[in-house]
Amino acid sequence: MEGICKTFPGVKALDNVNLSVRRGTVHALMGENGAGKSTLMKCLFGVYSKDAGHIYLDGKEIDFKNSKEALENGVAMVHQELNQALKRNVMDNMWLGRFPKVAKWCPLTSESKMYAATKALFDELEVSVDPKMIMSRMPVSQRQMVEIAKAVSFHSKIIVFDEPTSSLTEQEVEHLFRIINSLRDKGCGIIYISHKMEEILRISDDVTIMRDGQWIATRPAKELTMNEIIRLMVGRELTNRYPEKDNVVGEPMLEVKNLTAEYSALKDVSFVARKGEVLGIAGLDGSGRTELLENIFGIATKKSGEIYLHGKRVMNRSARESLKNKFAMLTEERRATGIFGIRDIQANTCISSLNRYKNGPFLSDKKMKKATEWGIQAMRTKTPSQSTQIQTLSGGNQQKVILARWLLTEPEVLLLDEPTRGIDVGAKYEIYQLILNMAKEGKTVLMVSSEMPELLGVCDRILVMSGGRLAGEVDAKNTTQEEIMTLAAKYV
Ligand SMILES: Nc1ncnc2c1ncn2[C@@H]1O[C@H](COP(=O)(O)OP(=O)(O)OP(=O)(O)O)[C@@H](O)[C@H]1O
Ligand SMILES: [Mg+2]
């Protein structure tokens, strides 16, 4: 890709960017949220048309009009945001737009061919998913694996992975890396976007770093260190990855007793969270971490058990009731459950705290502007204005808006499911700071994360879930990753 430029209203997303990917290598693309990584890839994939520049594949100039053309000509892409037909099954999603026919002369779709092809591909890639499973019934991580298998199924020369691991478990990440390595051995060129430094240094041959829509550097991965990458990305030195912890843990605030879910494996979970405490929740995927938060917040049905806030029983039968009881929750799948795509930043920021902006019977635009401005500043959200549609922001910046939304509800108990997923290193620090500030103000924060260093760096205590049950509780100051992993495997 040579001299690629792309402007959106109010944003120069790409400014003369170059990228050259060698056959049989993994090329990492890095940069802060909003740097232009996804946009560059969408120009390649035919989702956006570039304003200027040239793209060559095997020496031949290409300019795809849409993603179908890209797929037919050797370029596949796993998008940052899953966009699947959730009510259809796995194989329908795999073959959408290219269903195998019963026979040349018969345009009907052959279910059996589709099943056999899916099964064969899954076997080859060692993906253990039933091709007939309905998408919505599977955890996000498995859906992501389906998306990855789909991209591989086109036998492309170039495969783009835009943050493929943001919702994968550690095991699945290893699995993906095996797939990527075999694609590399077959001579594929792989473009890999991720905010996880450790991954980048492990998997990539070359690294290209972008900042504010511009190309900054391309280097062999071997010559780069984590600090060097961060410096190139952020444009300054970043000394600490975690802020100073100065929250004071006080009296019990939230008490959960024998919580058992109706429709998931969550069973008999009891714990106490204190005022001013950041309580981490660790565990493997499927261990019930998300379900625990969902049951507390009332977006999943409780079978039995009790929840107390300040010693008073709360029912939390729905999100609305929970909000009223001063609970707030940032969900794991923000795209599906948190974003009003065509509404602007202000609406998306203020929607859950409208009673704060009342002016008599009306909503005060001025108050909403002020709150939104606070969110944008606190989180350093990259947006042209408050009236920008949220769906035009980069993935990481959309998340910052949603996080600001929940902070503005001024909850007593803040439930966060993977709060820094897809957020760049610099912005992570700010989010940690906000979490600790909440704790310092005397709130209780429950935080699920798959990144163990993050739990150790931010939390006071960590609950470890395993097989739907509470396997143990550790003090973040005096524990190790090994101890947590051992507990996480207790009921598997
Ligand atoms: N469809 C669009 N309309 C308007 N602006 C857009 C659109 N798509 C992207 N942008 C803007 O282009 C810039 C680059 O966004 P892009 O999604 O490429 O960032 P990114 O590097 O992928 O970030 P992240 O790590 O958060 O995914 C951002 O400022 C974003 O707001
Ligand atoms: Mg992106």
Q: Which of 212, 383, 393 for a ligand 1 pocket mutation test, highest count of atoms within 8 Å of Cβ?
A: 393
Report the pLDDT value the prediction gives residue 334, as an integer from 0 to 100. 65
Least distant ligand from the CA of 12: 1
Residue 165 CA to ligand 1 center (angstroms) comes to 19
CA-nearest residue, atom 24 of ligand 1: 33
* Distance (Å, whole) CA 199 – CA 344: 34
Residue 276 CA to ligand 2 center (angstroms) comes to 34
Report the pLDDT value the prediction gives residue 335, as an integer from 0 to 100. 62
Say if strands 444-448 and 278-282 run parallel, antiparallel, or are unpaired: parallel
CA-nearest residue, atom 29 of ligand 1: 34
Q: Which amino acid is at 173?
A: V
pLDDT per residue as tens digits for the range 456-467 = 999 999 999 999
CA-nearest residue, atom 6 of ligand 1: 392
Least distant ligand from the CA of 48: 1
Q: What number does the ligand 1 atom closest to the CA of 424 have? A: 25
Q: Is 222 exposed, middle or buried (0-12, 13-18, 19+ CB in 10 A)?
A: exposed
Residue 398 CA to ligand 2 center (angstroms) comes to 10
Report the pLDDT value the prediction gives residue 110, as an integer from 0 to 100. 80
Going 182 to 184 to 186 to 190, the CA torsion angle's sign is positive
* Distance (Å, whole) CA 232 – CA 204: 17
Residue 489 CA to ligand 2 center (angstroms) comes to 33
* 437 contacts: CB under 8 Å, gap ≥ 6: none
Q: Which residues of the chain have pLDDT under 50?
A: none
The domains located in the chain, with CATH, are 2-234 (3.40.50.300), 252-488 (3.40.50.300)
DSSP code, position 100? P
Torsion of CA 62, 63, 67, 68, to 10 degrees: -70
Report the pLDDT value the prediction gives residue 394, as an integer from 0 to 100. 87
Q: Which amino acid is at 463?
A: L
pLDDT per residue as tens digits for the range 215-262 = 999 999 999 998 899 899 988 777 788 999 999 999 999 999 999 999
Report the pLDDT value the prediction gives residue 140, as an integer from 0 to 100. 81
Residue 422 CA to ligand 2 center (angstroms) comes to 8
* Distance (Å, whole) CA 246 – CA 478: 17
